[in-house]
Chain A
């Protein structure tokens, strides 16, 4: 399997310009900002030792837990740095100007962080969750040997893909592609005894709702509160398309946010068709939305005032690992190549919502 894309992801880094918050500056003049290349797959607290030594001469004697902020918004340390950047910088800002604090940890907003151990266990617990989604249990992660655990974490810390692959293959988290191919073969032979189990892909979806309209991403407003962002761990079921049709990123986004695919379209017009609405609905959980969907289609000619909230909402952007992948790409490729080391695929979606709704 071609792993070039995965290497790009692992090598990906964001140039950070980190300023020490003025309340932590104990000397005059204020120290110059620190310039750091932060790995996309890394986590901000892992930069602590570097920053502490950079700012050491200016820091007050009593230090609290390190935390970061972007334009007033405290950054959640358990979200990978690359995802924070994709989510909070509509138009990529380079270098990305962050502020670091060594005092006044916002305990009400951020989970406490006890340094690298907290980050490591947050990572491992996510990996466990991913394993559960894929295999229905997390035994392989739980039973990982101590040396393997250490090596896995160290490979993530240092961005070393080879040792990571060596250890992670032992976890038997498979690749979605393999399973998908197997499924196609089975259905080709119409062998129904073959226990075709749908592949589940661990996805972490981040949806940023913007009420103001904007044409260019440059004009996109700032996210000033986490209340404007929803994020959720939500597995995507890969369904073998009818007639060998491939399950695409478009299908995946649609299964995550079905309401935006009724009659609205993404800016990427060509990849969107409304026609396959019905064949796609399978799970019973979708039944109610399906009904609503049909009602709406029926009513759409006489749309007057009583619209559903989402009527005017629109997906502006789908961003994964800093890129906007074409929506017709097979989802198995996206999942296998663009996932983070904890086996979650982090998808950022910018959603334009009607103004009135957010005011209420």
Chain B
């Protein structure tokens, strides 16, 4: 694809290609994290009887039972991403140096929270969309104000300002259950900008394989998922 005429969108077929490439790379460079897996439309459900619809769209990328790095509820997988947390705590300490520790302690007794992330292709916007949900270890779902505490500070701020247009609860397109969704209406535009800013892409054309990596490097910041720097290296530019 020519980067200049490209509109920043992705077909469902290219989404699949990109998703596979992304999952591979993630495994390679981010082995401390659980892997992203491709979930094909589960054939058991009658939902899947929606034949062509599902076959074309096939499924979604899934990262389940993980913990948000910014989360104050500690003790799990997200070990390497503590920079966020440190800087946050430092900020707090300047304000309330004494109370901070006790506050944190009392707030999160032994509660463990998990997050599921799904990346689904939207036919309408022709871009990937991030769906997620949070829940306690007993399966009880987290409400948005509880999730908010786990989000990076900047996200919590945007959430406050744009309650209805940033993160809202909507139905998961495959599971038909309420999930949180990051609104995708600007995605194609900033994806285009992102790719235009990359000289090697401007020369070599848009690599579909690289789409999801670049996309998650931006979207992930909202929920605190970090992409290892090595993943962002475009294989084409190495040659």
Contacts and interface: CB of A to CB of B under 8 A. Distances in A.
Interface of A: 76, 78, 107-112, 117, 121, 124-125, 128-130, 132-133, 136-138, 142, 202, 205, 207, 209, 226-228, 230-235, 256-260, 284-285, 288-289, 309-310, 313, 351, 353, 357-358, 360
B74 to A, nearest CB: 27
A125 B44 contact: no
A209 B49 contact: yes
Contacts of A360: 43-44
User: What 6 A-B pairs have minimum CB-CB distances, sorted nearest first?
Assistant: A121-B164, A230-B50, A259-B51, A111-B178, A209-B49, A230-B47
B189 interface: yes
A349 to B, nearest CB: 10
A207 B43 CA distance: 16
Nearest to A357: B49
Contacts of B177: 108-109
15 contacts: A121-B164, A121-B168, A226-B176, A227-B45, A227-B46, A230-B47, A232-B50, A232-B53, A256-B53, A257-B50, A257-B53, A313-B49, A351-B49, A353-B46, A357-B46
B187 to A, nearest CB: 10
Contact of B178 (A110, A138, A284, A353): A110
A173 B169 CA distance: 26
Interface residues of B, number: 35
A289 B52 contact: yes
A309 B51 CA distance: 9
A231 B171 CA distance: 10
B221 interface: no
Given A202-B124, A226-B176, A358-B46, 10 more contacts: A112-B169, A129-B125, A137-B188, A207-B49, A230-B47, A230-B49, A234-B53, A234-B124, A256-B52, A309-B51
Given A112-B178, A132-B185, A202-B124, A284 B49 contact: no
A263 B58 CA distance: 24
Contact of A234 (B46, B123, B169, B185): B123
Nearest to B141: A107
Nearest to A289: B52
Contacts of B170: 111
Given A142-B185, A258-B52, A227 B171 contact: no
Contacts of B40: none
Nearest to B53: A232
B50 A233 contact: no
Contacts of A288: 55
Nearest to A204: B124
